[in-house]
Structure 1
Amino acid sequence: MPNRVIGIRHRLIQWRATRHWGRLARKVREYDLSTLRKLRGSARHLRAQLDHVIRVADSRLALPMVGSNAFPKPLFCDWSYRPELWRMPISPIGLAAAPTKSTFGEEVMLFHDCRSSELTVRQVRNTREDDLAPFGLRMDVFRFDGSFLSLVIEMPAASVDDLKQRHLVRMNAVVEMEKKLEIFTRLNIKHGPNTEQLVRELPFEDLSEDGRAEVEVEFDLAYTNMNEKRVERMWVDLVIENPEMSQIVLRDINISRRPRAEV
């Protein structure tokens, strides 16, 4: 149906309407007052409908496009990725009293050890002009009686294709918080029976007045004992410290990698 709206019939109607109103506009100074009054009413009604279409279209077209994988990438980047949750609509869209091991789409899983979950998680549509990701993830935490809260984000198989110790892996995030929290990110790389882990704290020194920050962390694989021939998979953990009575919105998460410059 949407395709038919802008099909041949629509173009024909539009051409006739444009021709009709163009003819009226050229002769508008010749009409008597009674005819002008009726014509003005018709023109105002038409303008109201056109203004509504333009207003809604401008609003929707201003949003980040669903499926967008666009974000700044480092020089010589050989792989980059925005996980599904921040790129496409997921199912379920959200959960109240979310239990541990809840999944959101195919790549994100929630972990916590609360005895009674008072945690709500929901995918939201990003609408700000400077948002590059189409979607974000909002977490509302009320009473929290657990010792940890984390999100596990699975990377696709392409993330470890030809992965070497000379690679640098970068994670960029756009975060909004009601109060300043400590959030750590842990890069995990499984190779054979072993798993390499690198941990970085997200730097929130430049938190804006509305609690928004764009942050970046890098992991240098030269500091690992990764067996390049046996790399199987990669995933990222986001660990949130003391989240009680807070709201966290992850507006964007994206990962990229690049080889270190040869010396």
Structure 2
Amino acid sequence: MGTRSAKLWQRIMQRGVRRFWAQAAREAHETALPVLRRRRLVARQLRNQLDTLISIADGRLALPIIGSNTFPKPHGTDWAWRPTVWRESLPTKGKVAVQSKEGLGDEVTLFHDCTVSELTLRQLRNTRAKDLAPFGLRMDVFRFDGSFLSLVIDFPPEALAGLNRHYLIRMDTIVEMEKPLEIFARFNIKHGPNTEQIVRELPLHEEDIMVEFDLAYSKLNEKRIERAWVDLIFEGPEMNQVILRDVTFSRRLRAEM
């Protein structure tokens, strides 16, 4: 009985709060300024809490399941990863007029040399039954007066644990475009003062878009590895929309010849 009474009282309080703020909004044009100032402060505090609640709820209720790191992995994989922007609901869903070295989340950064940025980035919900990633990333490019455009994905420290020249790094992605363009993936690994780079063109004409970076062909100093990242380089991106429905990485030991 006590629990039912508490729930009933909670519903009554919620209705009262909604009525109060609805009336406050209707009266805002005529409310005395000192009262309006106090209400604005409280409203901003409530908005921050509500935005947080909505962000968490969107993530948990999105399909596929929030935080999913599920995707096909080659036999022998000892590390696999889906970056946060494709896995978790971000508090900031999008940005317009994105400047160079800006991005979404902690791992994805956009680089370009445009004089005036007409670029947008936005996290999207994936709701198709075939989507394994909870979210996608959409990039809109309007007028583009720069010479390069790349999306940088920083690898977490776990990706580097025990890494050596016997490993293959694999990248899988799902890409949608308004019109055809070329996308190159450049794997970078910093070791001491040097940085090794391996470049592959994404096979956008194939159903499964996958590239591998074979560290055996690098001059990697295994004892001095500091960080690693992948540049997605977009050639001729003007007046195009690119949606990366999923981006995943994995690593495994290469088969010895």
Q: Same fold (TM over 0.5)?
A: yes
Identity %: 61
1:141-162 CA-partner distances (Å, limit 9, x unpaired): 1111111111110000011100
The equivalent residue for 2:86 is: 86
The equivalent residue for 2:141 is: 141
The equivalent residue for 2:109 is: 109
Native 8 Å contact 2:98 2:118 kept in 1: yes
Which of residues 211, 236, 242 in structure 2 aligns to 1:217?
211
Q: Distance in 1 between matches of 2:62 and 2:149?
A: 34
The equivalent residue for 1:186 is: 186
Measure how far apart 1:99 and its partner are: 1.1
Q: Distance in 2 between matches of 1:90 and 1:178?
A: 25
Measure how far apart 1:61 and its partner are: 7.0
Q: Distance in 2 between matches of 1:82 and 1:245?
A: 28
Q: Distance in 1 between matches of 2:223 and 2:99?
A: 37
Q: Cα RMSD between the aligned structures?
A: 1.8
Q: Describe how 1:189-204 pairs up with structure 2 within 5 A.
A: 189-204=189-204
Q: Secondary structure at the match of 2:85?
A: helix
The equivalent residue for 1:238 is: 232
The equivalent residue for 1:29 is: none
Q: Describe how 1:40-59 pairs up with structure 2 within 5 A.
A: none
The equivalent residue for 2:167 is: 167
How many pairs does the alignment contain? 201
Measure how far apart 1:133 and its partner are: 0.4
Q: Secondary structure at the match of 2:198?
A: strand
Q: 1:107 to 1:77 in 2, by over 3 A?
A: same
The equivalent residue for 1:54 is: none
The equivalent residue for 1:121 is: 121
Q: Secondary structure at the match of 2:77?
A: coil
Which of residues 238, 241, 247 in structure 1 aligns to 2:241?
247
Q: Give the partner amino acid of 1:259.
A: L
Q: Describe how 1:33-44 pairs up with structure 2 within 5 A.
A: none
Q: Distance in 2 between matches of 1:197 and 1:235?
A: 10
Q: Secondary structure at the match of 2:159?
A: helix
Q: Which runs of 5+ in 2 are unaligned?
A: 8-59
Q: Distance in 2 between matches of 1:118 and 1:168?
A: 36
The equivalent residue for 2:98 is: 98
Q: Secondary structure at the match of 1:255?
A: strand
Q: Distance in 1 between matches of 2:188 and 2:102?
A: 20
Measure how far apart 1:220 and its partner are: 0.5
Measure how far apart 1:98 and its partner are: 1.0
Q: Describe how 1:1-80 pairs up with structure 2 within 5 A.
A: 63-80=63-80
Q: Which runs of 4+ in 1 moved over 6 A?
A: none
Q: Distance in 1 between matches of 2:108 and 2:83?
A: 8
Q: Distance in 2 between matches of 1:262 and 1:242?
A: 39
Q: Distance in 2 between matches of 1:137 and 1:214?
A: 18
